[in-house]
């Protein structure tokens, strides 16, 4: 049961985040796009506002919001370019949450407070050249040598790798097992010798985010970097982070759709054809109505999954369903919005065109749409097993 004080703390914070989005994030989007990165000043403001700490408990210096509150906040700050979110998403979801549930007390005490302040950026290193959707197929190895592990392998598309202070790396500590059993997770200091971070590739969208390769060559990692202090945790810590992140991605899609609808309405009201604003034409209204209806549906699914998450068990099927629907939804909304703009929607100098490019990613990472379908179908079919 939430106390009134907690609700007040959340309501006040929500207003701060809404104001920050409207007054700082949205007006600076074009500068972000031009510079190809989130500027230092904005990063400082994001840190000061506490966005790095929304999912981290108060006892570790975070704001300690529950999942429903995190999702409500995400609906707000993702009305702005999703590139801003990309800079702190890997810390608040993928890395801190795996650490929270699977780290030793010492690891949590050492790392979580700096993460909550935004002083220590985490990047989540699972994907590899030969292991994308099939994460069990990772080939990076961590071989025990005396009191250390020696890491060798390549990670691919690792968001924030160039900015990270710490990598959460999944590697094989025992190659004799098939599947996830021989996989362990490591908290690796990004400055260690033997680590090489690749160049930021050209991106279809979300330009200014930084998914790069990481190469580990005979990288010596102290054994107390092993997450939880035990080998063979498999993909459980990774999935803990991924499930958190999937729900945040669903919320991000809702935030992005809200903005797209706002911008499409603004455009439709200002554009006249046949002596009337196009917003008065039924076919334009139908596209707006469809977009709005789908956005509301995704919002409801995301909130429902978040409330169930807060009850204790991770509602994996609902999270997959929300992520699947919301990410497909936002690309339909982006497509409708481009259509409403006519030819202007194909010229890359406006928010809608940029969001059209940006939102395409949501159907690909944190599990593609096909992987969400697979997760959902496998689990719901199992319910009817004898
Ligand atoms: C911008 C960006 C940022 C990223 N950030 C990170 C990060 O921070 N950390 C990290 O570890 N990873 C990250 N990723 C990796 C991302 O999670 C993977 O790209 C994604 O999981 C898909 O893997 P893949 O690209 O290898 O595609 P593949 O797995 O090769 O899939 C190719 C196609 O086959 C389909 N497919 C594969 N298996 C099945 C199946 N069993 N059934 C049906 N269809 C299937 C897929 O749906 C897809 O259509 C990022 C990726 C991008 C593009």
Contact 52, 88 (CB under 8 A): yes
Q: Nearest C-alpha to atom 37 of ligand 1 is from which residue?
A: 133
Q: How many domains, in total, are found in the chain?
A: 3
DSSP 108: H
pTM: 0.97
The minimum-distance atom of ligand 1 relative to the CA of 127 is: 11
Residues having CB within 6 Å of any atom of ligand 1:
90, 124-127, 132-133, 157-159, 211, 361, 364-365, 367-368, 370-371, 374
Q: Are residues 242 and 322 in the same domain?
A: yes
Q: Nearest C-alpha to atom 50 of ligand 1 is from which residue?
A: 157
Query: Cα(203)–Cα(81) distance, rounded to whole angstroms?
Result: 15
Q: Which CATH number covers residue 133? A: 2.40.110.10
Q: What is the pLDDT of residue 293?
A: 98
List the domain range (segments joined by +) for residue 208.
123-234
Taking Cα atoms as reference points, which of 297, 294, 302 lies closest to residue 247?
A: 302
- 103, 118, 133 - which closes a domain: 118
Q: Are residues 105 and 139 in the same domain?
A: no
Can you spell out the DSSP letters for 314-330? --HHHHHHHHHHHHHHH
Query: Cα(266)–Cα(287) distance, rounded to whole angstroms?
Result: 14
- 209, 234, 259 - which closes a domain: 234
Contact 168, 187 (CB under 8 A): yes
Query: Cα(364)–Cα(368) distance, rounded to whole angstroms?
Result: 4
Q: Are residues 111 and 139 in the same domain?
A: no
Beta-strand relationship, 122-125 and 141-145: unpaired
Can 366 be counted among the known catalytic residues? yes
Q: How many Å lie between the centroid of ligand 1 and the Cα of residue 11?
A: 36
Contact 99, 112 (CB under 8 A): yes
Q: Are residues 307 and 356 in the same domain?
A: yes
**H-run or E-run covering 160:** none
Q: Nearest C-alpha to atom 23 of ligand 1 is from which residue?
A: 132
Q: How many Å lie between the centroid of ligand 1 and the Cα of residue 367?
A: 6
Q: What is the pLDDT of residue 312?
A: 95
**What does the pLDDT profile of the chain (386 residues) look like in tens digits?**
455 666 899 999 999 999 999 999 999 999 999 999 999 999 999 999 999 999 999 999 999 999 999 999 999 999 999 999 999 999 999 999 999 999 999 999 999 999 999 999 999 999 999 999 999 999 999 999 999 999 999 999 999 999 999 999 999 999 888 889 899 999 999 999 999 999 999 999 999 999 999 999 999 999 999 999 999 999 999 999 999 999 999 999 999 999 999 999 999 999 999 999 999 999 999 999 999 999 999 999 999 999 999 999 999 999 999 999 999 999 999 999 999 999 999 998 899 999 999 999 999 999 999 999 999 999 999 887 76
3-state helix, strand, coil in the chain (%, to 5): 60, 15, 25
Q: Are residues 287 and 162 in the same domain?
A: no
Q: Which CATH number covers residue 56? A: 1.10.540.10
Q: Are residues 159 and 229 in the same domain?
A: yes
């Amino acid at each position: 049961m939430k106390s009134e004080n907690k609700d007040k703390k959340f309501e006040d914070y929500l207003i701060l985040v809404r104001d920050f989005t409207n007054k700082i994030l949205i007006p600076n989007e074009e500068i972000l796009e031009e510079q190809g990165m989130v500027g230092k000043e904005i990063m400082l403001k994001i840190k000061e506002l506490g966005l790095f700490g929304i999912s981290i408990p108060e006892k570790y210096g975070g704001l300690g919001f529950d999942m429903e509150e995190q999702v409500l906040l995400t609906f707000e700050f993702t009305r702005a370019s999703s590139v801003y979110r990309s800079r702190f998403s890997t810390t608040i979801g993928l890395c801190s949450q795996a650490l929270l549930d699977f780290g030793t007390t010492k690891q949590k005490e050492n790392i979580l407070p700096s993460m909550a302040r935004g002083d220590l950026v985490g990047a989540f290193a699972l994907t590899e050249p030969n292991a994308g959707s099939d994460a069990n197929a990772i080939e990076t190895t961590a071989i025990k040598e005396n009191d250390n592990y020696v890491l060798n392998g390549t990670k691919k598309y690792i968001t924030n790798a160039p900015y990270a202070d710490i990598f959460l790396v999944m590697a094989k500590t025992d190659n004799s097992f098939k599947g996830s059993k021989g996989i362990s997770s490591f908290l690796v200091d990004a400055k260690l010798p033997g680590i090489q971070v690749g160049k930021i590739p050209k991106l279809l969208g979300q330009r200014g985010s930084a998914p790069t390769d990481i190469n580990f060559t005979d990288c010596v990692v102290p054994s107390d970097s092993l997450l939880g202090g035990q080998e063979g945790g498999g993909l459980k810590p990774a999935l803990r982070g991924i499930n958190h992140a999937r729900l945040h991605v669903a919320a991000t899609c809702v935030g992005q759709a809200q903005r797209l609808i706002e911008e499409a309405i603004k455009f439709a009201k200002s554009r006249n054809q046949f002596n009337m604003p196009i917003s008065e034409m039924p076919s334009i209204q139908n596209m707006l109505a469809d977009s709005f209806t789908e956005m509301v549906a995704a919002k409801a699914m995301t909130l429902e999954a978040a409330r169930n998450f807060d009850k204790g068990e991770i509602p994996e099927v609902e999270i997959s369903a929300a992520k699947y629907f919301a990410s497909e939804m936002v690309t339909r909304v982006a497509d409708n919005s481009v259509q409403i703009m006519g030819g202007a929607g194909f010229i890359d100098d406006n928010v809608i065109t940029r969001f059209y490019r940006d939102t395409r990613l949501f159907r690909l990472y944190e599990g593609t749409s096909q992987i969400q379908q697979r997760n959902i179908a496998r689990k719901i079919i199992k319910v009817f097993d004898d």
